[in-house]
Amino acid sequence: MNWRPQPKQDIALQQTAFEVLYGGARGGGKTDAGLVWLTIYKDNPRFRALVIRKNADDLNDWVDRAARMYHVSGATIAYRPAEIRFPSGAIVRTGHLKDAQAYTKYMGQEYPFILIEELTQIPDEKRYLQLIASCRSTVPGIKSQVFATTNPGGLGHLWVKARFVDPAPPMTEFEVLGRTRVYIPATVDDNPTLQEADPDYVKTLDALKETDVELWKAWRMGDWNTFAGQYFKTFDRRLHVIERYIPEKGGFFIGSLDWGRVDNFAFYVHHVRPVYFNGQMFYRITTFIEVYGVEKEPREWAETIKNRLEGYELKLTSLSNIMADNQIFQISATDVGKTIADLFYQYDPEYQGILKAASKNRVSGWEIMQNWLSMAPDGKPYWQITEACINLVRTLPAAVHDENKVEDINESGEDDALDSVRYGFMELKWIGAKSETVERTDTEEEPTSITEERDLFDDDEGDIIKTL
């Protein structure tokens, strides 16, 4: 092949780490680097490689480029799905990870090389790990390796960043559990060939700075601290995440629940309390209890919730409501004539008084959550989350806009924690700070019960929670 690598491409191709992530910005020469990487063992008849994109349709452009590059090597391509055969007998196959079970197509197979195009399009790390379990080699002289390319952004942005970008400085190989990884960043500045062939491309990228600075940072500069499509852009871990604590007396508590047996079950408790600051009164929500996981029966979850509440000196009766996915009130074929809610009641009748069906309006719920993420008059967010809520803190900033309905969140990601919170916040509604409120004095006492709290939250605009 008549191809010479750019300096960053050459560095990426020389890496010996088991996992190599190359790219970080548009125009860095990612695709060509991956194509050339696949030819390292093209003369070995036992060499096998797998090329993955999230969707099969996304492979079309890659296959066209492969055909042009590999033609001079005598390679032939069969289609549906595309398979590249070199004269030696070496084979490069293509595939996708369109759904959570797609990895099963590759189980039991051996691929010394796996190339993943646009890694951040894979929504979760689990699918990635299931895939690379097939990356191994019993062929003498061929060392197994994963080569991934990507830009910041997409459903998988945060897990890719956490796996490759955050643990070590760029171009520094590091080891985790006996396996090595490395991240090689590249921008259009590292690709003079592209700049010479299309000098206006850089201008196109730079023009984004005036219309969408976050997209410019990601596509032009390869900045992993912001990414295109992020839904809750105002979330800032330094401001919104606080240390674990046991709430003091005052305010009230509301629970929220998203049911899942195979998908994730997510339950949260939110503490709502009034705050008085410089003549203003507003409400602050702190989400401080998380129960999260899969493959447990309703009775087990019901018991876990009660135990977790007791750890915070609370009871079921401490909660004004538990706003839940309405599917738990519907009978399914797997529930032997009883609803999920019925099984909760069977474990403890006290659930019957507080489990309520939540609104299913997704877009309105996300908007309410956005409002609570904003800053209150005291310089802190209206809504804060404690470190105990690991999965909520992990998935909230990872949510991205749906491509077809931009006001909504893409459901392909892990949104169970967000759905649960949305159910609770739809009940809480949104009330911002009120001006010209009589400033609280030291003689004022906190409400001592939920009943007293109901009186406190009454106002001309309506209650903060419909049942109060």
Query: What is the full DSSP assignment across 314-380?
Result: --GGGEEEEEE-GGGGS--TTTTT--HHHHHHHH-GGGGGTEEEPP--HHHHHHHHHHHHSBPTTSS
The answer to whether 15 touches 79, Cβ cutoff 8 Å, is no
> Mean pLDDT in the chain?
87
Q: Is residue 155 classed as helix, strand or coil in its secondary structure?
A: coil
* Model pLDDT, residue 105: 82
- C-alpha angle with apex 403: 228 to 397, nearest 5 degrees? 45
Across the range 96-101, mean pLDDT stands at 75
23: left (phi over 0), alpha (psi -120 to 50) or beta: left
pTM, two decimal places: 0.73
Distance, in Å, from the CA atom of 361 to the CA atom of 367, rounded to the nearest integer, reads 10
The answer to whether 103 touches 127, Cβ cutoff 8 Å, is yes
Other C-beta atoms lying within 10 Å of the C-beta of residue 281:
19
Structure tokens at 440: 């609280």
* Model pLDDT, residue 305: 97
Distance, in Å, from the CA atom of 82 to the CA atom of 51, rounded to the nearest integer, reads 10
Tens-place pLDDT, residues 237-249? 999 999 998 888 7
Tens-place pLDDT, residues 381-425? 999 999 999 999 999 988 988 878 889 998 877 899 999 999 999
The residue count of the chain comes to 468
Nearest to 43 by CA among 93, 103, 88, 91: 88
The answer to whether 129 touches 18, Cβ cutoff 8 Å, is no
Please, how many CA atoms are within 13 Å of residue 264, restricted to the half-sphere of its CB? 18
Beta strands in 396-445 (DSSP E): none
Distance, in Å, from the CA atom of 19 to the CA atom of 118, rounded to the nearest integer, reads 14
Tens-place pLDDT, residues 194-244? 888 888 888 888 888 888 887 788 888 888 887 777 899 899 999 999 999
Query: Which domains occur in the chain, in start order?
Result: 7-219 (3.40.50.300), 237-457 (3.30.420.280)
* Model pLDDT, residue 275: 92
Tens-place pLDDT, residues 278-296? 989 999 999 999 999 998 9
* Model pLDDT, residue 460: 39
pLDDT band at 193 (very low <50, low <70, confident <90, very high): confident
Element (H, E) at 208: helix 200-211
